[in-house]
């Protein structure tokens, strides 16, 4: 570890293999908390590269038993968090719209970190289990197009890192890589980031991690979701080619709203918002989900354009298909709980 720390302190970036070696060492009994803290801090000060992000993610993913699940064209639409917007659970609600449109979604998420309510908090309130087994997860992906992967459950071996992150109380590489560590092999991804200057870096990491197609977005107001407040900044990864562009909601027929219009609350309040969207009740929440779902469908290739994605997303909600995916996940959770009793 000393060699890697010296490189980082000297502002030298690590290769993918060096990053994998350093991360693997962090999982051994020989590592100390001080070394891990120094490693995370040195990375942060230097600034994480695409190679370093890809290296640590590859090791973390391999630690989860879910990494052996092999299904075609699986997608995730998780954001990094950290934008401090206190928005409702946009990506979680959007996930059901994508699933209702026929996209297989392995929804990776956690409890609240920088917002009032995380994806796990709102789904747990709605009755979704946070402790699906590998077999349960695979069944839901195949039969329901969506399963929820609770990060602490699927990444149990990361607890030493989490302890040190809490003690440091500072942003680290983990504030960027959460959505990348989904243990299931993904072909496509919609990923929101709270740092606009990391859009291209994340896109390059996604390419190294095997994504065929992906969209990385930093929304108006520096949200880690697409926003209706103005111009959104995006980077498209398509078979290795990276293209940057901007998108204003007016370009796809949506009105503009201040980001305050989509703020959420506690788990109960956000659950009500989520259900109102899936029931097709007109609101800034619904329009925000339509925009993000359109981007997800375009990222996945299910829609040829973002405008086409708007139509497909609208149909997923209006037909009741999106709400059905949620209801099926809740009922399955109940059945799993009964079997365990």
Question: Nearest Cα to 157, choosing from 55, 290, 63, 281?
Answer: 63
276 marked ligand binding residue: no
The helix (H) or strand (E) run that includes residue 328 is helix 321-340
Return d(Cα 173, Cα 185) in angstroms, integer.
21
55 marked ligand binding residue: no
92 marked ligand binding residue: yes
Q: Are strands 213-218 and 232-238 parallel, antiparallel or unpaired?
A: antiparallel
13 marked ligand binding residue: no
107 marked ligand binding residue: yes
109 marked ligand binding residue: yes
Query: With left for phi above 0 and alpha for psi between -120 and 50, is residue 14 left, alpha or beta?
Result: beta
Q: Which two tokens stand for residue 299?
A: 């990222």
110 marked ligand binding residue: yes
79 marked ligand binding residue: yes
85 marked ligand binding residue: no
**CB 298, CB 215: distance < 8 Å:** yes
233 marked ligand binding residue: no
115 marked ligand binding residue: yes
153 marked ligand binding residue: no
Alpha helices in 47-117 (DSSP H): 50-62, 90-100
111 marked ligand binding residue: yes
113 marked ligand binding residue: yes
91 marked ligand binding residue: yes
Task: Please state, in angstroms and as integers, the Cα–Cα distance from residue 95 to each residue in 33, 64, 120, 128, 166, following that order.
Answer: 36, 22, 13, 14, 29
225 marked ligand binding residue: yes
325 marked ligand binding residue: no
317 marked ligand binding residue: no
The helix (H) or strand (E) run that includes residue 271 is helix 267-278
182 marked ligand binding residue: no
Q: Is 206 exposed, middle or buried (0-12, 13-18, 19+ CB in 10 A)?
A: buried
Q: Which residues are annotated as a binding site for 5-phospho-alpha-D-ribose 1-diphosphate?
A: 79, 82-83, 87, 89-92, 107-115, 119
Name the binding residues for Mg(2+).
91, 224-225
Q: Which segments are annotated as binding site? A: 79, 82-83, 87, 89-92, 107-115, 119, 165, 224-225
Annotated binding site for anthranilate: 79, 110, 165
């Amino acid at each position: 570890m000393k060699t890697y720390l010296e490189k980082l302190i000297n502002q030298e970036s690590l290769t993918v293999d060096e990053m994998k070696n350093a991360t693997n060492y962090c999982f051994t009994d020989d590592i100390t908390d001080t070394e891990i803290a120094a490693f995370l801090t040195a990375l942060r000060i230097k600034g994480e590269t695409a190679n370093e992000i890809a290296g640590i993610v590859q090791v973390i993913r391999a630690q989860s038993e879910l990494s052996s699940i092999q299904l075609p064209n699986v997608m995730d639409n998780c954001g990094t968090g950290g934008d401090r917007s206190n928005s409702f659970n946009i990506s979680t609600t959007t996930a059901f719209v994508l699933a209702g449109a026929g996209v297989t979604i392995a929804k990776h998420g956690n409890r609240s970190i920088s917002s009032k309510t995380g994806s796990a908090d709102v789904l747990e309130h709605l009755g979704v289990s946070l402790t699906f087994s590998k077999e349960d997860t695979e069944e839901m992906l195949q039969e329901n197009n969506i399963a929820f992967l609770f990060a602490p459950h699927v990444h149990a071996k990361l607890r030493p890192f989490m302890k040190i992150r809490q003690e440091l109380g500072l942003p680290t590489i983990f504030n960027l890589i959460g959505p990348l560590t989904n243990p299931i092999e993904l072909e496509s991804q919609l990923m929101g980031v709270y740092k606009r200057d990391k859009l291209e870096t994340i896109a390059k990491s996604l390419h190294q991690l095997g994504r065929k197609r992906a969209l990385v977005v930093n929304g108006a107001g520096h949200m880690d979701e697409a926003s209706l407040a103005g111009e959104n900044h995006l980077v498209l990864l398509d078979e290795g080619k990276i293209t940057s562009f901007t998108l204003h909601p007016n370009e796809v027929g949506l009105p503009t709203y201040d980001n305050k219009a989509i703020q959420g609350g506690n788990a109960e309040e956000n659950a009500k918002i989520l259900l109102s969207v899936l029931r097709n009740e007109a609101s800034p929440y619904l329009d925000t989900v339509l925009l993000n779902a359109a981007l997800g469908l375009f990222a996945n290739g299910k829609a040829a354009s973002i405008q086409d994605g708007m139509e497909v997303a609208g149909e997923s909600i209006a037909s009741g298909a999106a709400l059905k995916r949620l209801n099926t996940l809740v009922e399955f959770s109940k059945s799993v709980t009964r079997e365990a009793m």
